[in-house]
């Protein structure tokens, strides 16, 4: 499997603040790659560099073999960028939004009509095609936004916190759409504030902190680095009051249990990306 996104020694500062420092990153074609990190870690700056919105101060970055500085127009033809807010016209219907953007993208009237219908079906919006976008739910608006992004079927789609503000059901529906994109050969690079999202979706995850990658691997590999099962202690209402990491062995579990009172209620769970995040970053919790 070939690499479709590469960053080598990329640095970026805004004024006196260094946001990225000598950063290396590789994304394989047809995979979902998630960027996690606290505020100011550099996630959105990476997306902006790859989308040619911001030029790196040092190093090189390429998308589908095109340099983001020297071949900006070729990079733009290779990507689609979807931000945190759905960029749809609320007055137009779903189909009108798609046809308008298709025509602006250079498709003929016939091509725009055909492609719009294809995407409405693919994103399960056919029944709402003639309804104004302002009547759409949050999840429907995000699906329409993604459909617009794929009018020209770019090889790479950049998603900057695509499910922010959505309820649990809408997030899970959108996860299915994103998985389908990768299944059809599209490479997805996403930033997210939901660790569960990265765990469920990503083939590989990179955790950024202080402008550098502090951990990278598959979700399983990252979770294995922080130890074995976690022993959770619960109060009378079932709330977790304390968590004790173990090494996954019987001896480790006995050692953890020996620190508890005989009446304590406990449960075991596997490590999560939350544990990884807390272990490798300097901040106390995930953030956008």
Q: What Å distances lie between residue 66 and 56, 144, 255, CA to CA?
A: 15, 28, 55
- pLDDT, tens digit, 9 for 90 and up, residues 102-152: 998 889 999 999 999 999 998 889 999 999 999 998 888 888 988 888 888
- pLDDT, tens digit, 9 for 90 and up, residues 160-208: 888 877 788 878 888 888 898 899 899 999 998 778 888 889 999 999 9
* SS3 at position 195: helix
Q: Which residue has the higher pLDDT, 214 or 223?
A: 214
Q: pLDDT band at residue 21, thresholds of 50, 70 and 90? A: very high
Q: Which residue has the higher pLDDT, 268 or 262?
A: 262
**Given a cut of 80, is residue 281 above it in pLDDT?**
no
Among residues 254, 234, 250, the alpha carbon closest in space to that of 242 is found at: 234
Those residues whose C-beta lies under 8 Å from the C-beta of residue 119, and which sit 6 or more positions away, are 98, 125, 147, 150, 151
Q: Which residue has the higher pLDDT, 35 or 270?
A: 35
Q: Which residue has the higher pLDDT, 242 or 30?
A: 30
Among residues 124, 13, 91, the alpha carbon closest in space to that of 58 is found at: 13
**Given a cut of 50, is residue 284 above it in pLDDT?**
no
Angle between helices 94-104 and 109-122 (to 10 degrees): 130
CB 62 within 8 A of CB 51: no
- Under DSSP, the state recorded for 277 is H
**Given a cut of 60, is residue 287 above it in pLDDT?**
no
**Given a cut of 70, is residue 285 above it in pLDDT?**
no
Cα–Cα distance measured from residue 249 to residue 110, given in angstroms and rounded to the nearest whole number:
64
The pLDDT of residue 10 is 97
Give me the domains of the chain, ranges plus CATH numbers.
3-93+141-223 (3.40.50.300), 227-270 (no CATH)
Pairing of strands 17-28, 3-14: antiparallel
pTM: 0.76
- pLDDT, tens digit, 9 for 90 and up, residues 43-95: 999 999 999 999 999 999 999 999 999 999 999 999 988 866 557 888 999 99
């Amino acid at each position: 499997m070939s690499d479709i996104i590469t960053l080598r020694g990329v640095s970026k500062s805004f004024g006196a603040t260094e946001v990225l420092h000598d950063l290396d990153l590789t994304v394989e074609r047809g995979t979902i790659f998630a960027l996690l990190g606290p505020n100011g870690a550099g996630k959105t700056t990476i997306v902006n560099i790859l989308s040619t919105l911001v030029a790196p101060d040092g190093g090189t970055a390429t998308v589908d073999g095109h340099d983001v500085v020297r071949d900006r127009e070729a990079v733009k033809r290779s990507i689609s960028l979807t931000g945190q807010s759905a960029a749809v016209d609320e007055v137009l219907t779903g189909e009108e939004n798609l046809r308008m953007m298709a025509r602006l993208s250079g498709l003929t009237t016939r091509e725009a009509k055909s492609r719009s219908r294809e995407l409405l079906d693919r994103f399960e919006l056919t029944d709402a095609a003639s309804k104004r976008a302002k009547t759409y739910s949050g999840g429907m608006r995000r699906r329409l936004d993604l459909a617009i992004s794929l009018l020209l079927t770019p090889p790479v789609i950049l998603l900057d916190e695509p499910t922010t503000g959505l309820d649990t059901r809408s997030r899970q529906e959108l996860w299915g759409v994103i998985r389908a994109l990768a299944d059809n050969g599209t490479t997805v690079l996403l930033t997210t504030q939901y660790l569960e999202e990265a765990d469920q979706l990503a083939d590989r995850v990179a955790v950024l902190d202080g402008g550098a990658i502090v951990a990278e691997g598959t979700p399983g590999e990252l979770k294995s680095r922080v130890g074995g099962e976690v022993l959770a202690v619960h109060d009378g209402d079932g709330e977790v009051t304390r968590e004790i990491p173990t090494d996954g062995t019987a001896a480790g579990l006995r050692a953890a249990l020996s620190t508890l009172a005989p009446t304590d209620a406990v449960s075991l769970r596997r490590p999560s990306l939350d544990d990884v995040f807390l272990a490798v970053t300097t901040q106390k919790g995930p953030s956008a």
